[in-house]
Structure 1
């Protein structure tokens, strides 16, 4: 199958700090993380495809935060594609809150489902959804975050809404297993180093049949 994104299409990335990467400050407009890497690689390989790229990542955001800004940052952009990479802040804050995990997961599902359904009803965009990734071995403060339960929801919702799934957790775990002495994140198991961003970009592009 050929590369999924066609010339003339508008592609919106939305998420938290991993997507943001300074796109609202010194690295405007695309940031200096995986989003800019994706854009550069696609442009280099398919220079004839005039794709319009938009980065709407906001550091610290949660899926509930996406619900609040979905109209302005997604619907109003009239995208042909929307890529959603969200959830690690939900995982961390839910654990800190002491709330019942079942309730937290239900809130996560409900909010995520809201943005997916709005995308289907208010835009013509195709949807890409990324797994939450976390490398416990690299977390220097040993938070022992449980991303699996949240990723299970992401998998279920991706199937229900015919979304393309980007298997980031699986990919990072495989990379860490193959190279356990190498650091992919900035000592917290979450925020990628440049090679980690490269791994995200390549995993995303593989899902897009690059």
Structure 2
């Protein structure tokens, strides 16, 4: 079991992480972060874990950099779970005239964030692959996502991070053709999508750190 008493776990990302957290009295939202918090608190009540949701709708990796000190470093967490990349691709599709975050810049900015995490004593990053854009594996969005997913893999290796294969998990699920959607609009999770994200996170952390 990887967690210690009173560990702080910060989740940061875009709307998929945010999931209405500002309207929630607990500031957790209704998505995968809430599912993970409920599981961890129920399974390990003696650890008094603190789960912090710092997702912000619409964010790209460049937006994370602007708020990294306040929303991550100042918490002095033991774990930082990052889910970012969907909007970095989506803006290329819906707002092609704006300044874009292409894969090279995405990886460079992401690396700067992880360099700062290295300076937090006892903190380990958890990197989640960006999920999907549209619920069929060969969509334009999913093809554009591939180099971002590959960048996350390289960064996980470089910074000794736990890799959560959420993109792979979603594509594997979609190829099963269950008839049950994972999203409300091709991007934002419905309850089943949130459950798949949470279960994939738990499996990855279990595999990297022993049984949860």
Compute the TM-score of the two structures, normalised by the length of structure 1.
0.89
Aligned pairs for 1:65-144 within 5 A? 65-95=63-93, 96-97=95-96, 104-134=102-132, 136-137=134-135, 144=141
Q: 1:87 to 1:27 in 2, by over 3 A?
A: farther
Residue 97 of structure 1: CA displacement?
2.5
Equivalence for 2:209:
none
The offset of 1:28, in angstroms, is 3.9
Match of 1:195 among 151, 169, 192: 192
How many residues of Structure 1 are paired with residues of Structure 2 in the alignment? 204
Q: How does 1:1-210 map to 2 (within 5 A)?
A: 3-26=1-24, 28-95=26-93, 96-97=95-96, 104-134=102-132, 136-137=134-135, 144-145=141-142, 146-188=144-186, 190-209=187-206, 210=212
Helix, strand or coil at the partner of 2:192: helix
Taking the aligned partners of 2:130 and 2:52, their CA distance within structure 1 comes to 21
The question of whether the paired residues in 1 share the 8 Å contact of 2:89 and 2:141 is answered with no
Structure 1 stretches lacking a partner, 5+ long: none
Any runs of at least 4 consecutive aligned residues in structure 1 with deviations exceeding 3 A, and if so which?
98-101, 135-139, 142-145
Tell me, what secondary structure is at the counterpart of 1:144? Answer: helix
Q: Distance in 2 between matches of 1:143 and 1:171?
A: 18
Distance in structure 1 (CA, Å) of the matches to 2:25 and 2:31: 9
How far residue 181 of structure 1 moved from its aligned partner, in angstroms, is: 1.5
Q: Which runs of 5+ in 2 are unaligned?
A: 207-211
C-alpha distance in 1 between matches for 2:99 and 2:69: 30
Tell me if structure 2 keeps the 8 A contact 1:13–1:56: yes
Distance 1:137 1:8 in 2: 38
Shift of residue 42 of structure 1? 1.3
State which drifts further: 13-22 or 39-48: 39-48
